């Protein structure tokens, strides 16, 4: 590697130089989510020579990903995103050490996964994962480089950087069952996550190289249709930091069996065939795909309170929705109501769609 000319053009920048390249080589970055944002982040970090990159994603490549997730090709469909992405970026830059976590980031594996990294890049696609990442990062005192997209718009920021503001300072978590929008996936312009992912990678490199000013306490807004960008300032809210820390410590300290269990596809399908389980589809009646296994009842989220009033608190209940966001919320709600045997399908019925089609 010493004699390679690979990094010549970036070492030529006085802000980087040989010392900066060494910093990149020593850096350990965890990328959570290897989808629309994750792909460009991984490509750019690997190309820049970031020494160790962790990739977390439990999803598989689907054809509908290919218009925006440029690490994957048609022949990768059906394969693990994390493993496929790792192979591609290792080929792109063999100097990079890549660690693969082919699983979804959740309360049970969070602390184990983040343990050896100095920066977390949030490339996930659910609000609950974003709060989880924030809270874990607060406890671990590592910064989060965040981006998220909606149709033609995107947001970028850096949280918990040198004791700076958190995701929760920007978006305090709303209590109650109404807080999560229906997760029928909306459309997205393919280049949009690539633009936002490149901005995220830029922030990661700036943090490692200690150059420029990092987007800490600043939310960058990007609108591709109007080509408008603007920066919104936000400051630290001690109460929100405390909420995040509290939740983070709770997750770190709890026994894994006390946490509302998240189900894999296989155990979920098994439970659907067990008579003693009540499987509740908490989606609205119009949502697709339908899933009419034996024990499934359809109780939209808003009616859950009434329905569960009729059930025994020790009844085993399995919840699912489209992508796992609403079911997670419902699970937390039922737990508070005193139900003891609860679980939910982590990534929703969407995640077993392929399974259903091939059945």
Partner 1 sequence: MIINIKYFGLLADITKKKEEQMVLDESSFSVGFLKSKMESAYQELQNTNYSVAVNQAMAGMDTNIKDQDIIAFLPPFAGG
Q: Which residues bind partner 1 (CB under 8 A)?
A: 33, 35-38, 122-127, 130, 147-151, 153-155, 169-174, 178-179, 181, 183, 186, 188, 193, 219, 221, 226, 230-235, 325
Residue found under tokens 């960058």: 220
Contacts of 337 (CB under 8 A, 6+ apart): 308, 313
Contacts of 2 (CB under 8 A, 6+ apart): none
Alpha helices in the chain (DSSP H): 8-11, 17-26, 38-48, 81-92, 110-114, 127-140, 167-170, 191-209, 238-253, 265-272, 304-308, 325-336, 353-357
CB of 178 to partner 1, least distance (A): 4
Nearer to partner 1, 38 or 54 (CB): 38
Complete DSSP assignment for 36-76:
TTHHHHHHHHHHHT-SEEEEE---B--GGGTTT-TT--GGG
CB of 231 to partner 1, least distance (A): 7
**Cα separation, 127 vs 39, whole angstroms:** 19
Nearer to partner 1, 23 or 326 (CB): 326
CB of 234 to partner 1, least distance (A): 4
Nearer to partner 1, 38 or 248 (CB): 38
Positions marked active-site: 183, 321
**Phi/psi of residue 231, nearest 5 degrees:** -115, 125
Nearer to partner 1, 23 or 168 (CB): 168
**Cα separation, 178 vs 274, whole angstroms:** 30
CB of 96 to partner 1, least distance (A): 22
CB of 7 to partner 1, least distance (A): 29
Nearer to partner 1, 21 or 351 (CB): 351
Q: What angle do CA 196, 216, 12 make, to 5 degrees?
A: 70
Tallying the residues shown for the chain, one arrives at 359
- Which is nearest to 251 in space by CA: 127, 146, 133, 119? 133
Nearer to partner 1, 44 or 93 (CB): 44
- Which is nearest to 342 in space by CA: 321, 324, 305, 316? 316
CB of 192 to partner 1, least distance (A): 9
Is residue 282 within 8 A of residue 326, CB to CB? The reply is yes
The CA radius of gyration of the chain, in Å to the nearest whole number, is 21
């Amino acid at each position: 590697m010493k004699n390679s000319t690979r990094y010549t053009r970036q070492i030529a920048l006085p802000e980087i130089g040989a010392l900066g390249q060494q910093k990149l080589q020593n850096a350990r970055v965890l990328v959570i989510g290897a989808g629309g944002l994750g792909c460009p982040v991984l490509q750019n970090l690997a190309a820049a020579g970031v020494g160790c990159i962790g990739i977390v994603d439990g999803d598989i490549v689907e054809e509908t990903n290919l218009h925006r997730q440029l690490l994957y090709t048609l022949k990768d469909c059906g394969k693990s995103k994390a493993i496929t992405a790792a192979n591609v970026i290792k080929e792109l830059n063999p100097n990079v050490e890549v660690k693969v976590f082919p699983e979804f980031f959740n309360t049970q594996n969070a602390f184990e996964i983040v343990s050896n990294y100095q920066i977390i890049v949030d490339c996930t696609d659910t609000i609950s994962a974003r709060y989880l990442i924030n809270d874990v990062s607060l406890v671990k005192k590592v910064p989060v480089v965040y981006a998220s997209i909606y149709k033609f718009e995107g947001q970028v920021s850096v949280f918990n950087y040198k004791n700076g503001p958190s995701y929760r300072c920007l978006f305090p978590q709303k209590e109650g069952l109404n807080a999560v929008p229906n997760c029928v996936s909306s459309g997205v312009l393919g280049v949009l996550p690539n633009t936002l992912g490149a901005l995220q990678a830029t922030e990661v490199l700036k943090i490692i190289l200690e150059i420029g000013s990092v987007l800490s306490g600043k939310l960058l807004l990007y609108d591709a249709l109007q080509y408008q960008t603007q920066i919104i300032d936000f400051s630290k809210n001690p109460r929100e930091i405390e909420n995040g820390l509290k939740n983070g410590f709770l997750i770190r300290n709890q026994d894994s069996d006390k946490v509302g269990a998240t189900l894999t596809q296989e155990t979920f399908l098994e439970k659907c065939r067990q008579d003693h389980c009540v499987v509740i589809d908490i989606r609205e009646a119009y949502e697709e795909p339908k899933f009419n296994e034996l024990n499934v009842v359809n109780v939209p989220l808003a009616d859950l309170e009434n329905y569960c009033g009729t059930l025994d608190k020790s009844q085993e209940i399995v919840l699912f929705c489209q992508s796992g966001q609403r079911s997670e919320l419902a699970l937390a709600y039922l737990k508070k109501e005193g139900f003891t045997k609860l679980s939910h399908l982590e990534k929703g019925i969407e995640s077993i769609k392929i399974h259903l089609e091939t059945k």
